[in-house]
Amino acid sequence: MTRFSRDHRRRPLTAQERQLLPATKGAAPAEGDARDLLIGNSSRRVILGIVALAAYWAWIFSIFHANVLNPFATADFSAYLLLCVIVAGSSALSMVVFALVGWYLQHVVDRLWFGIGVALLSILAEVPAFLGQMGSELGFLQAGVLFALGGLASSFVYLKTGPFFVWLRRAKLMRSIALAFLLASLLYVLPLFMDPVMGIVMIASFPAVSVACSHLAGKGVGPKRLEEAASYRAYLEAVLDRFREFVPTLPRTLLYTLVFGVTSYTVLSLAVGNGLVVVIAASIAVSSLAFAVYVLSKKVEADSDLYRMLLLPLIALAVLPFPYVPEMLKVFFLALIIFGFTCYDAITWGDLADEISDRQLPVYASYAPPTIGNFAGIFIGWSVGALLYAGLGKEGFDTGYAIFSIIIVIALVMLLVWDLVKSRKEESGEPQADAFLDKWKAACAEIAEAYELTNQETRIHTMLARGRNQHYIAEELVISPHTIKTHTYHIYKKLDVHSQQELIDMVEAKL
């Protein structure tokens, strides 16, 4: 994450820092942006973006409204649980589709007719429940098709919020996410107090509200696209490069989302089986309030990797005993799980937004690869929950969930230890003596010119060659550590080296 000291906030921006700010038309003023939530002419756009995010999340949360959206009149909720797995799978599939054919879709995503189309398709997921309330029950196959189409379209609704993510700088984005989360929890609760038919209609309106607000908020922002890619093949190569950049973070993302996915399925089965939808509503409300307090009271420009490490014991503490606590106490433990996952998700998208802005990457093409990993992990988690429920039954489900959770937490701990060892190795590099600095810089400049490094890559290459670790470089250049990691990946690729030591050896060979 971008880290600012008090002096950084008060002094004028340097020419280098101004160069790193997004050149997108309509971007908010940089000075003071990290402190203020709603300022100047950006207020309307920020409010619209918050509502767009909240409406989408409220639609996703509404899947837990089993008493409202269940299209089957039977007391057995197993069919509805499978429909929820279908929604999760189709959501992940939609991002895969976009990654493959985004060369064509990226030119229409911002069009109003496209937004209206995906909003209308999202409504299909509510049609089976609406018909059921009207006395016309659909079969499982028919309901499954409608749920799949609704889930497929809903992810494109989420994709349309991308420019809002990228337009905001880190602190304002985190605070906007906190407010959107609070609003989404309120929208989720409202159908509980409404007539079922009216509740279904309200839930069905959420995608349309999100699309409308995203469309209005996106006016004037002008997100970049892959216009420099001359062909579909060039587009695919660019997307594959983005996938390779996210490979190092993919295991952690999948593990976190697996935990969240299987826990979500467990909570849903608990709620529909015991009529405890109110438990989920309370948990979402508590976690959204805690997240808002956390974001609004803390500095959010600190090291994102450190925050991710701190989230691990929090999630483990909540996940491991979850099946064995009394039903009402699950409110607290579920709130911890949702809070931990929301923090992880917000930090991840904050890193991505900073990287897209700093490097001026095309929004939608850069947005799809990490979203695939996120949605795929949740889908796999839901699928594991469904298999456990089907294989072990209601009586053995808690034990199966506990064993699965222990395995996942052990994997997360191993990943954490690996990250710590790797970080120690990076920090062990000592900076070179000042007497050799000029000669060292000349050697770095020669390599940078020979291998056609960009200006920013040249700066980072020089600091890496002096033994500086990535967190130090992030602080010096006032950009996120995630962006530094991405630049380092490209530098290693251009120089055909595989470690910082090889890079240093390459410079020393020039001395």
Residue 416 pLDDT exceeds 50: yes
Residue intervals of the chain classified under CATH 1.10.10.10 are 434-508
Predicted confidence at residue 208, as pLDDT, reads: 93
Predicted confidence at residue 76, as pLDDT, reads: 60
Q: What are the distances in angstroms from CA 428 to CA 423, 466, 508?
A: 9, 12, 18
Instruction: Name which of 93, 87, 88, 57 is nearest 181 in CA terms.
Output: 57
Tokens of 309: 């490490």
Query: Which residues have a Cβ under 8 Å from the Cβ of 195 and sit 6 or more positions away?
Result: none
Exposure string over 41-56, b if 16+ CB within 10 A, otherwise e: ebeebbbbbbbbbbbb
Predicted confidence at residue 21, as pLDDT, reads: 41
Exposure string over 15-38, b if 16+ CB within 10 A, otherwise e: eeeeebbbebeebbeeeebbebbe
Share of the chain above pLDDT 90, in %: 7
Q: Per this entry, what is the length of the chain?
A: 511
Contact status, residue 401 vs residue 262, Cβ threshold 8 Å: yes
Contact status, residue 440 vs residue 507, Cβ threshold 8 Å: yes
Predicted confidence at residue 165, as pLDDT, reads: 73
State pTM to two decimals.
Answer: 0.74
Query: pLDDT of 377-394, one tens digit each?
Result: 888 888 888 888 778 877
Predicted confidence at residue 40, as pLDDT, reads: 42
Residue 53 pLDDT exceeds 70: yes
Predicted confidence at residue 281, as pLDDT, reads: 75
Predicted confidence at residue 2, as pLDDT, reads: 33
Tell me which of 46-60, 260-274, 313-327, 455-469 is least confident.
Answer: 260-274
The arithmetic mean of pLDDT across residues 393-422, rounded, is: 77
Q: Which residue has the higher pLDDT, 96 or 339?
A: 96
Residue 16 pLDDT exceeds 90: no
Residue intervals of the chain classified under CATH 1.20.1250.20 are 6-422
Q: Which residue has the higher pLDDT, 336 or 151?
A: 151
Query: pLDDT of 222-252, one tens digit each?
Result: 555 444 556 778 778 877 877 877 777 777 7
Query: pLDDT of 277-291, one tens digit each?
Result: 677 777 778 888 888
Predicted confidence at residue 270, as pLDDT, reads: 65
Q: Which residue has the higher pLDDT, 83 or 350?
A: 83
Q: Which residue has the higher pLDDT, 510 or 210?
A: 210
The arithmetic mean of pLDDT across residues 250-267, rounded, is: 76
Identify the CATH number of the domain defined by range 6-422.
Answer: 1.20.1250.20
The arithmetic mean of pLDDT across residues 161-173, rounded, is: 76
Predicted confidence at residue 42, as pLDDT, reads: 62
Integer Cα distance of 59 and 202 in angstroms: 10
Could you tell me the pLDDT band of residue 425, with boundaries at 50, 70 and 90? low
Identify the CATH number of the domain defined by range 434-508.
Answer: 1.10.10.10
Could you tell me the pLDDT band of residue 10, with boundaries at 50, 70 and 90? very low
Contact status, residue 168 vs residue 24, Cβ threshold 8 Å: no
- The half-sphere exposure of 407 on its side-chain side, counting CA atoms within 13 A, is 9
Share of the chain above pLDDT 70, in %: 78
